[in-house]
Amino acid sequence: MDSYHTGDVAVTTSPNEGGEDEACLYALLLCNSQVFPSVLNAAIELNLFEIIAKETLPMSASEIAFKLPNQHPDLPNRLHRMLRLLASYSLLTCSSRTNQHGTIETTYGLSPVGKYFVSDQTRGCVGSFTTFIHHPTNLFTLWWWWCDFRPNFKDVIIDAEDDLFKKVHGMSLYQCTGRDPKLNYIFNKSMADICTLEMNRILQVYKGFEGVSTLVDVGGCTGQNLHMIISKHSTIKGINFDLPQVVEKAPAYPGIQHVGGDMYSYVPEGDAIILKAVLHNWTDEQCLSILRNCHNALPQNGKVIVIEFIVPEASESNVSKLVSTLDNLMYMTSGGKERTEKEYEALCNLSGFSRFQLVCRAFSALGIIEFHK
């Protein structure tokens, strides 16, 4: 059973198996759960993870405070309280030392989890996605709680014709990013950072790009996925396929041709097609339309490589928590959904493919699936 954290207390059993005290403690944690995301986002905006990462030894709150632009007497104390909460969620390590004044002080270092919140163009990171989630136009900031968010959330459960983001803003998330340059930048950066993180791991565990001649990335945005793949498999010819207004801003990459178009109308031909984080945006009917166009674009024995989070069987694992959270995020922001392995197999069969294979997983949650023609 996974461990979970309740403030300063780390619990190593299920909250339903630890007795009445543990059950109550976990319930109290959940009812205060809006606090931690706000503290985490503040830590990212203050560059606390970057400040700690640059030092070889753990730092005290006073040392970290000294690195911030605004100084005041209570700043070290406030930082200490933030850092203590981050440490309770395993984002920082926590230890003690005697300082030059002979006083015991707490010091904080970067944990293996915390390193993923440090900006790294090579490895990727998750910090920018946290910033996107907390942007004022998004649904998950405390700001929306004061703007009657909860009744809207109820409405999206009841009303199958609309999604919550559209109800609140009068337009889809993608329309909103197109009209707000700052949000568009934050959104694109968060997607690029997550993409880098995921693709690095995918390229370690998945060997199915070997032997591919022409690889088409449908919904490939500016071509970052393909660029990372071709950097490792240089014989592949890449076609990055997305909307014309998206690919016209894409940088030039060696071995990659940018093609503008609509995946609901056609898909460029190749012996393999990649759909990464595409199908979860759409309904089953829309997915079938996309997949049938992919099927038409492939030669006999060609394949579609689907990369999506896979909903596991109900459990209390971190994989289940993550994918269930993303699933709720999808229907609130786009009307899409995360799917089980069986649901992806059904899409495979209904769109005319002959064989389905869940080849491997990245981070235990991200499935790399092949649909064979």
How far apart, in Å, are the Cα atoms of 332 and each of 130, 150, 279, 351?
17, 12, 16, 27
134, 227, 280, 295: the catalytic one is 280
Neighbours of 226 (CB within 10 A): 27
In 3-state terms, the chain is what percent helix, strand and coil (to 5)?
45, 20, 35
Longest dimension (CA), the chain: 75
CA-based nearest residue to 95, from 81, 108, 76, 77: 108
Check if 280 is active-site: yes
347, 349, 351, 352: CA torsion to nearest 10: 170
CB neighbours of 296 closer than 8 A, spacing ≥ 6?
Answer: 266, 267
Distance CA 252, CA 248 (A): 10
DSSP code for 206: -
Buried b (16+ CB within 10 A) or exposed e, 84-93: bbbbbbebbe
Residue 335 — left, alpha, or beta (φ > 0 → left; ψ -120 to 50 → alpha)?
A: left
Q: Which residues are catalytic?
A: 280
